[in-house]
Chains A and B, each alone.
Chain A
Amino acid sequence: MMKRREFLKHAITVVAGLSLPLAALRIVQPERLFAGQEDLRWIFLVDTHKCVGCGFCVRACKIENEIPYDANVTRTWVERYVVTTDGETFADTPIGARDGFTDRRIDLGEGKFKEIKDEEIEKAFFVPKLCNQCDNPPCVQVCPVGATYRVPDGVVLVDRDWCIGCGYCIMGCPYGVRFFHPVYRVAEKCNFCYHRITKGLKAACVDACPFGARLIGNARDPNDPVTKTVLAGRVGVLKDEYGTKPWVYYLGLSKEVR
């Protein structure tokens, strides 16, 4: 038989032993550590009026985020829209506009091009695209192992060591921003250059844009110029109908934009 004193001693050891790991689990919760600030929500603003389709942002992004330069995938890209006088819309994004738009003709794929005469053009414009860091991200919902997650400051991240590469998140994203990284062979996407913005820098594409078409800010700060524009200006978001609640806002969004 065990003595009462011994029993109490063992009981205390067991309780202490059990409670310690539980407490430890709470301490290492990564989102609390890195992005637990209540007063921070990253927000992005694209002014399509200012974009000229130079592709500096795409190049900067590829280099900054180590996406193989010649791989036909990209975290951000620029689309060109040309609407003709008879109401037809043409759009293209040759290699994501990494080299800008060097050809006046519209790239129709399969090596075909469409020549549109100047006098037939009603309007033409460029639209940069990137991850929308949705409030209700379908990619996070469908990940079977929780390798992609949304941190409280709004950015959706991918854990390269945990992703199994099933591609369900790629299928789930209506914006087509996700792809398989050619080197790591796991899901990859824009994360507003999380490694930069958490250190007080701007996203690489924002810094690279010579015309200020791309801006990043904090939606919780009422004095932030981006927040002010989004609140006071006439802005739009992409593919509202999917209920994803995107956080990349567009100035001068046209109905032709897909």
Chain B
Amino acid sequence: MVHGEVWTIKELFVYPNEYIYWTVQIVMYPFMTGLVAGAFVLSSLYHVFGVKQLKEISRFSLVFSFALLPVALLPLLLHLQQPLRGIEVMLTPHFTSAIAAFGIVFSVYGLIVASELWFVYRRYFVETALALREKAGRSLAENIRYRLYRLLTLGAYDLSEQAQELDDKAVKILAGAGIPVACFLHGYAGFIFGSVKANALWMTPLMPVIFICSAVVSGIALCILTYIVTMEIRKLIVAWRRKPLPVLPLSEELKSAEIQVVTMTTRYLVMFMVLAITLELLDLIFRGYTAVKSWDILRSVIYGRDFFNIFVLQYGLGNLVPFVLLLLPRLTIRRAILATTLVLLGVFMMRWNVVIGGQAFSSSFAGYMHYQLPIVPHDWETFREGLCGALMVGVAPFILFWLLCKIFPVFDCPESE
């Protein structure tokens, strides 16, 4: 069977070689990179612009952004027909292609996040390494931890006031440099689509900007959501541990701190949402107003076949409902959870409607293609380009985040300033 035939249903006049070649993994790719970029921008709001209220979530989102980073690669590798040759993009980049820049942008961004993380956590590394060094009779696990942290300090044990000031300065510079690079990383994912002149739905210079805005929206939403979830777990743990140890903070105290952070962060979320929706609607209106050759088929896809996906799931449930939920006074944690989950759904549907919607019609402009997501896999192809593959990509960053939290504690960490 030809690649794409399993999940493509053709209707009316479609060229014989046309199938839905870019499937759910290509939906996951901009979704995941969007989360990376968005999480980073959120952490930079504190480091660069000194938004003090975001201090707690900024450290959290930085680590989360780092956890998401390798996962952004995964969907790309999973969709390649020759995944073992994927490295060629880095080795022999063909620079007229938007994808060729991937290796460079991705590595630069990875280095920036990694080094920022190092400067943020340097004091912690040094202190942990020193504390473990002092300890006599280390167990095997402690020995491994000691070696790891000693390695992570990179030999820089200086914790003088001057050195720490320099650290903060470095964090500020890296966070500042990271914002344009994060935007570029994601804007260029938008460029990959926006520059395909053969695809009437994708081709618009607005695509990179729309992608960046929705990326920030999704990144902030996910950070809020994960933040709430981890805080709730913390509260449970604290309540459980408080019984023998009454010195620990009350869960009520944690709760008030939590809602304050969440309320503050949602303001930025709403701001970026307005920007993203404005641009998306501008694009839609512009297409209808100019009504070029492709508009007839686009209209039938947007207002007909994909109406539910676009107007109900994406704009309605994903944008309008959370917008109202977040703007209503006296935000509660429960409402924030619902709103951010819906925002994430909205951004995911936006990616879906761009990637799958862009292939819902034939280049002949006289036929349609339907995508049927493989749910139960019956071979490797339907696994990786089906629901299972997408879920795998979706779950991976949380596992990585959990692992990273073991090395970079997000909460119980001494203040670096």
Instruction: Give me the interface of A with B, judged by CB distance under 8 Å.
Output: 71-74, 77, 89-93, 95-96, 108-110, 129, 138, 140-147, 162-168, 170-180, 182, 185-186, 241-243, 258
Contacts and interface: CB of A to CB of B under 8 A. Distances in A.
A165 B17 contact: no
Interface in B169-193: 192
Interface size class of B (residues with CB under 8 A): 35 or more
B100 A71 contact: no
A178 B17 contact: yes
18 contacts: A143-B94, A144-B99, A145-B89, A147-B88, A163-B81, A164-B80, A164-B81, A165-B82, A166-B80, A170-B21, A171-B21, A171-B22, A172-B197, A173-B198, A178-B17, A182-B1, A185-B82, A258-B363
Interface of B: 1-5, 9-19, 21-22, 76, 79-82, 85-86, 88-89, 92-94, 96-100, 102, 192, 195-199, 293, 362-367
A142 B366 contact: no
Contact of B198 (A89, A138, A145): A138
Given A129-B15, A145-B89, 20 more contacts: A73-B16, A74-B16, A91-B364, A95-B16, A109-B14, A138-B196, A142-B97, A142-B99, A142-B195, A145-B100, A164-B82, A166-B81, A167-B81, A176-B16, A176-B364, A185-B81, A186-B81, A241-B293, A258-B365, A258-B366
B12 A77 contact: no
B99 A93 contact: no
Given A108-B12, A144-B100, A164 B3 contact: no
B196 A163 contact: no
A162 B199 contact: no
The 10 A-B pairs at the shortest CB distance, nearest first, are namely A165-B81, A176-B15, A146-B94, A144-B99, A174-B198, A258-B364, A179-B17, A96-B16, A180-B3, A91-B13
B399 to A, nearest CB: 26
A141 B96 contact: yes
Given A72-B2, A182-B1, A176 B18 contact: yes
Given A72-B16, A166-B79, A168-B97, A182 B3 contact: yes
B17 A177 contact: yes
Contacts of A180: 2-4, 21, 81
